[in-house]
Structure 1
Amino acid sequence: MTQWTVRGMDFAMLCSRFGRDRLPYPLAVTVDVDTEDQLRRLRREASARIDALVDERLEAAIGVVIDPAVRIECRSDTHALGQSPVRVHAAVTHDLAVVLTQRPGPDCSVTIDTVTPASAPVRIAESVPTVQAGRRAAATLEHPCTATTSSGAILSTATRNATADEKFEAFFARPRSAVGEVIVARGATYDHRRDTDAVSFFWMDFDGDGRYLVRSHASIDVVPADSTRLVAEIGRQLESALRR
């Protein structure tokens, strides 16, 4: 399909032409200027670059970003050498998907890819570091049994459900090389508030072990996952959201 790479400010200007003053989460653009005159000059330059680039295909792609049937948002933070945090946003309709990928850099550049809806989960997973599945078996863990006083002090509940707390600590209190969150939500968004019907899960990479998918609800489900499993889970949530 089609791909464009634009500077972060150019992408922000492109979104503003469609009436949006906020970037799709989790994309972010920082502009370092000293004066309003400098900012106005940068905006004029960005507008000129967009004028030279925009065509019907790019307009159609941004239209999907602005008004999708489903959004998939992924942000990762990593401590591993040679890896960089990644911000990805996929806007999906029943006919087309647009994947926005932003990697660290001075221009906050955004790559815009148009793909089929079925390909969107693969493109998102490609932005995540490739790590083997964790070696521990899938498990359901209980949330730590702690309470907080009005002053914010944590009260110990060692007399109740200590074993569940120990299992939680044994799993999560290990060094992690990376952690990320995937959020799947329906429809357009106008700010960065979490949708009430959004579905989310985390992926966590543990040093010397591997990757797990982590979903928190009444309890915490932990499943070892390689890239194939990650793609499948994103795809499952996407299909469910498109059906709703």
Structure 2
Amino acid sequence: MTAVAKNPTWTFTDFEFNALWYEATGEWMPWPFAFTTDIASYDEFVSRRRRTMPRLIRSLRSSFDQVLRTFSAPEARVVVNGWGGHSHRDPDAVLRLLAVRRGDRGYLVTQAPGRTYWHGEVLTVTECDPLRLADTVVRALPERRPGGGADIVLPDGDIDDDLDYFFSDAAGDRARQFLDAPLVCAGAIHVIQHFSAYGPRGSARYRLNWRDLDGDGRYVIDGRAPTIATAADHHLLVALLDGRIDDAVAASGQRDTRAG
């Protein structure tokens, strides 16, 4: 574990982060991160985790307490899953990010890919401006130019169910070409309200997808009907994500005050 003073940043091995998270929440790892241990015995794993905690506590002192509180009870949570164009399970192309905000605190966690899809490596936690959380998340995505095509209407819901009917016209042909186009990478951005009077099932959830077409560029697909793929630069993706974060915070009964 190391800490850097500039924009407060902490780095952890996957084992260290698992130990911290389990100590704080009783859970294995927060979604979407991966952790697969090579320790053969459960008893030995628990023993090593217990031995790790005193060292982490001494190193972190109280500096990480606020971080864990924010992650365990945020106003809004942004989860990013990305994958390569050839396979969802390509370990070299996997992208896992988690960002949260609560009050005047914002944090981003990134995880380096591991040797398989089910493994992860170093996790980096960085403090950020909670009111610029969307910009922070988008900057953590692979940089791509916007696509060069016009808006494309896609089938709503389960594409397979609507495929034959939807793809019977010219607009459907464009949608098919778009969905069949070779990818550099793609992914999903989930925005989740934390606080809900109805429990986890009552939490508001929003989703954006992106697709980076080989030889073309980036498109964003809003989770709202009608489903439309739109060529997206950095600013458009930030604006869309910012709106979903605002919706999640508003659903939590919090008011977002922006400077300027």
TM-score range, shorter chain: 0.7 to 0.9
Counterpart residue type for residue 207 of structure 2: S
Secondary structure, counterpart of 1:108 in structure 2: strand
Contact residue 30 and residue 108 of structure 1 kept, 8 A: no
Whether 1:4 aligns to 2:10 is yes
Secondary structure, counterpart of 1:56 in structure 2: coil
Contact residue 84 and residue 103 of structure 1 kept, 8 A: no
Return closer, same or farther for 1:34/1:167 CA change in 2, 3 Å cut-off. Answer: same
Whether 1:89 aligns to 2:98 is yes
Counterpart residue type for residue 236 of structure 1: G
> Partner of 2:139 in structure 1?
126
Counterpart residue type for residue 10 of structure 1: E
Task: Kindly report which structure 2 residues correspond to 1:172-187, keeping only aligned pairs within 5 A, or say none.
Answer: 172-187=179-194
Contact residue 145 and residue 165 of structure 1 kept, 8 A: no
Superposed CA deviations along residues 104-130 of structure 1, whole A, max 9, x for unmatched, are 146622111122212322221122110
Normalised by the length of structure 1, the TM-score is 0.83
Task: Kindly report which structure 2 residues correspond to 1:1-244, keeping only aligned pairs within 5 A, or say none.
Answer: 1-79=7-85, 84-105=93-114, 108-143=121-156, 147=161, 156-157=164-165, 161-187=168-194, 197-244=204-251
Counterpart residue type for residue 179 of structure 1: A
Query: C-alpha displacement at 1:217, in angstroms?
Result: 4.1
Secondary structure, counterpart of 1:18 in structure 2: helix
Contact residue 75 and residue 86 of structure 1 kept, 8 A: yes
Query: C-alpha displacement at 1:134, in angstroms?
Result: 0.1
Query: C-alpha displacement at 1:18, in angstroms?
Result: 1.7
Distance in 2 separating the partners of 1:196 and 1:228: 27
For structure 1, the 5+ residue unaligned runs are 149-153
Contact residue 185 and residue 195 of structure 1 kept, 8 A: no
Contact residue 77 and residue 191 of structure 2 kept, 8 A: yes
Distance in 2 separating the partners of 1:194 and 1:129: 32
Deviates more, 1:106-115 or 1:23-32: 106-115
Counterpart residue type for residue 175 of structure 1: P
Contact residue 153 and residue 175 of structure 2 kept, 8 A: no
Number of aligned residue pairs: give it.
Answer: 233
Query: C-alpha displacement at 1:235, in angstroms?
Result: 1.5
Counterpart residue type for residue 46 of structure 1: T
Contact residue 204 and residue 248 of structure 2 kept, 8 A: no
Return closer, same or farther for 1:194/1:166 CA change in 2, 3 Å cut-off. Answer: farther
Normalised by the length of structure 2, the TM-score is 0.78
Query: C-alpha displacement at 1:238, in angstroms?
Result: 1.1
Contact residue 219 and residue 232 of structure 2 kept, 8 A: yes
Deviates more, 1:11-20 or 1:179-188: 11-20
Percent of aligned pairs with the same amino acid:
21
Deviates more, 1:135-144 or 1:206-215: 135-144
Query: C-alpha displacement at 1:13, in angstroms?
Result: 1.3
Distance in 2 separating the partners of 1:147 and 1:137: 25
Return closer, same or farther for 1:60/1:146 CA change in 2, 3 Å cut-off. Answer: closer
